[in-house]
Every structure is written in C-alpha cells, then in structure tokens.
Structure 1
C-alpha cells in the first residue's frame, strides 16, 4: 500500500481509489481517510523538494506583494494568491462532507463511477488540447496558456476541480489537470499547477488528521513507514511524469481508468466483491 500511495498520488488515476481497492481485493480493513491523508504528507514533501525553486520564487513574490502593490502584478505573486484562494473550496468541503468522505463515498460503486466518468473527462480534455496544439485541416494551431496567464477565475475553477478529489476515484491531479486543459492551459502548466495547488490542502489535511492518530485511532508504525515510502516513490514519479506530459498524451491513463472502473463494476455486479468490502477501518 505504501508504494501505491507514492506511485498513484501524482498520476491522474486516483491514489485514494487504489488504496481503497487494495483493501477490498486483499480483504484488508480499509485504511481509512485518516491514513490516506497522513501518508499524503510524504508525497507532498516530494512536491516541495522537486518544485523547491518554483515554490521559493512564488513565496518570495507573494510576501513582497503584501507591502508593495506593484509586486501584485508579478505572475509569481498572483500564483501564490491563487494557490491560497484555490485551496479554500477543498478545505471547506472537506470539513462539511467529512462524514460522507469517510462513509458513503467509499462505496466501491462510487469509486467505479468516478474512475470511468473522470477518465472520459480527462480524455475529452486531452483531445481538445491536442487539436489546439497540432491544428488540423480546418483549424489553425492555437497557443495554449501557461502559468503566467493564470487568472482569478481560472484559479477558483481549478480549486473547485481539486475539491472533487474528496471522492475516491476522482484523482486530485486528474481533476485539476482536466480543468486546466479545458481552460486552455498546456499539459505541462496544468500538471505543474495541480501539484502546487495540492500542497496547502494535502499538508493541512494530513495535519488535521494527526489528532486522530494521536488519539490512538491510527497505527503509527505502518503509517510512518507508508509516509516515508510515499515520499521516495512520489519524488521519482514526479520527475518521470513532468517529462512525460511535456510531449505525451494522457490517453494511457484514460484507458486505464475506464478499464479499471468497468472491471470494478463487473466484479461488484457479479458478487465477487461486496461494494463495502474492506470498508471498516481497522
């Protein structure tokens, strides 16, 4: 499970869905939302280190903008503000929907549905981006937007996209990347912003769940090991994924999501898996 968290967190295939599926297939207790949130601290630490130059530049520009109005026009300062604003939806909905996230949303039929639906959305967004980048017989090549073009509206929309990942199977990176592509951003910019946007939300979620771990609801040994392994594997995946998206299509991830979702529907429908298998945290 630990390696799965680091491997799938940054790919648009949903790490929470895979943690849930491993528990169901192996007939293990569902590790629960708290385990997932805490281990994601490891993956987000990988983001902080991999994007350290970008993050340092954005943070410095953001602090300058607090006292210098002219600095607020700096794209890095604007990105910093929009990461904060874009983190509000998932924070609010995470608190409001906490019981649903830890209960009904973990139904395997919900996971199967979101895997398929968001896979189709990602595929549609990817095809639109490809048409813009290559043009066609009756289409001119259109410039895709970069992070320097990020607007307040786009930042809010992408924040709402990220909030959809509260449901297992959606995928934080998949939802924000799909939103970025549909808003006209390049693959690399959409992926980069999805990673930056996730940092405050994931770290805050992990810290918030630490209270349950401290109260004895989480096994510290396995959780700390999972967090460490998620960091190591996560860093390697980020490096590979950023190279991949600069020139490749997301279609392999789309096909994987749809096939996995359909397989899950078939297994639940045939009675091989119970929709709530592994559904009690242990």
Structure 2
C-alpha cells in the first residue's frame, strides 16, 4: 500500500462508519473501482479500531455514567436511565453477534459482490427514507424499553448484508419505534462500540493465527486518520441531524447503488 491508498481508505472509513451509507460497502468498493490491491484484513482492523477509539472518546462522559449505573444495577437490583441504556446496548448486540459467528465466512466470501452492495444500498435506503418521512417521535435513548432493544437488536443483525449500513438500519428501526433523530443516532453510535469490539477481536484472532507479517506503520497511520475523521463526523452529524434529516444520505445511497448496477450489470 502506498500513502495515497492509506489516506483515502482511512478517510473513507472515518466518514462512512457512522453515517447511514455503509462503510463496508465503500471499503469493498474502492479496490473494485481502482487498480489498488485489496487492502487486506489487517488494515481493515486498524481502520475499525480507529473508529472505535473515536466513538468511545466522544461518548466518554455518557459511557462512564452508564458503566457506574450498570454495576450498581447488578449490586442493588435497581435500574436508572443510564443502567437501562447500558443493558440495552449489551442485549441489542446479541443478535448481530450470533449472526456474525454463524454467517461470517459466507458473508465475507459469497456476499462481497458489487451487485449485492447495490441491492443493499438501494433497498435499505428506501426503507430509511420511509422511516424519516413519517411523523417523528420525541423519545430519547434513555426512554427505550425491552421491546425497543429486541427490535433494534434484530434490525442490527441485518447489517451483515453488504450495503445495508449498521448505523443506517439501527437508526431506521429507532425512528420507526418513535425515537427522535438525534436519539436514534446516539443509540446507534453507542451500539457500534460492542459490535466493533467483537468484530475486531474476532478478526485479530484470525490475523494472529495466520502468522503473516504486518505493515505496522500503515496500520498506525490508518488508525489515527480514521479515528480523527470519525470523531469529526460524529460531532457534525449529531449537531445537524435534526435539521438536515436522513434524505441527503438516502439520495447518496440511491445514486451510488444505481451507478454500481450500471457498471456491473
């Protein structure tokens, strides 16, 4: 990998991980549309680790309160809003974790096709548009119930299909359940933490067992650039989401999906 490829992939990961436009689609798409070799699993892990650091740092105050309340809920058997949110994040991760363990090999081989990406971008983009066009609820992430946790968790498992977008499908589900846009996005971003931890953990085990040599300089650069870009993306997305809505991202998904169909059909 040369430095141009490192910078481009890092910026793409940072910008797309938390936007509802599918980061995995873009990381697969770049080598498909250029003469670059596939960046490989190790570099993908580094990019996702950078995104993980960004979301943890952004939500550090909320996460600290959630951890304390979660521990108190175990000790005293009482739930406050922070503890309920912490339990919700953990429980909503179970469906995608199980689906990932069962379907990971099949998805990483059979489903890494631009046509599948196009289908995911278009179909789930239309669903996101419908969810955003409907009258919005006013619930915050601290008002979720166990039904919300189950449904959003099941929706998140659909993100394993390329082009779906994990943030896109969880924001869609939250909007349909009556959350406001900012709350839907904040809960989606919090859900990304255990998902990225599980994914990078599993991939790291595979890498360590492969015995391959790694380009540590490229991986470090990717982690830093991806993390900085992701943090900036989270900040501005949450700052403007109530005003801009989801339609610009829907339009982008549809245009990109149509372009892929025209190229590969």
TM-score normalised per structure 2: 0.91
**Displacement of 1:11:** 0.6
Larger Rg: 1
Q: Which residue of 1 aligns with 2:234?
A: 238
The C-alpha deviation readout for 1:62-121, integer Å capped at 9, x for no partner, is 00000112x32x111111111111111111111111111211111111000000011101
The structure 1 residue matched to 2:101, chosen from 75, 87, 95, is 95
What residue in structure 2 maps to residue 176 of structure 1? 170
Normalised by the size of structure 1, how large is the TM-score? 0.86
Cα shift at 1:246: 2.7
CA contact 2:43–2:218 (8 Å) conserved in 1: no
5+ unaligned residues in a row in structure 2: which ranges? 1-8
1:138 match = none
8 Å contact from structure 2 (residues 48, 196) kept in 1: yes
Greater mean alpha carbon deviation, residues 14-23 or residues 209-218: 209-218
Q: For residue 14 of structure 1, what is the aligned residue in structure 2?
A: 22
Task: Give the C-alpha shift of residue 2 in structure 1.
Answer: 1.2
RMSD over aligned CA atoms reads 1.6
Aligned residues: 255
Map 1:1-282 to 2 at 5 A.
1-32=9-40, 35-69=43-77, 71-72=78-79, 74-128=80-134, 131-132=135-136, 143-214=137-208, 215-216=211-212, 219-269=215-265
Task: Report the secondary structure of 1:12's partner residue.
Answer: coil
Conserved in 2, the CA contact under 8 Å of 1:16 and 1:168? yes
Instruction: Indicate if the aligned counterparts of 2:42 and 2:219 stay in contact, CA closer than 8 A.
Output: no
Distance verdict in 2 for CA 1:100–1:38, change over 3 Å: farther
Moved more, 209-218 or 155-164: 209-218
CA contact (8 A) 1:15 1:171 kept: yes
Flag structure 1 segments of 5+ consecutive residues without an equivalent: 133-142, 270-282
Q: 1:36 to 1:156 in 2, by over 3 A?
A: farther
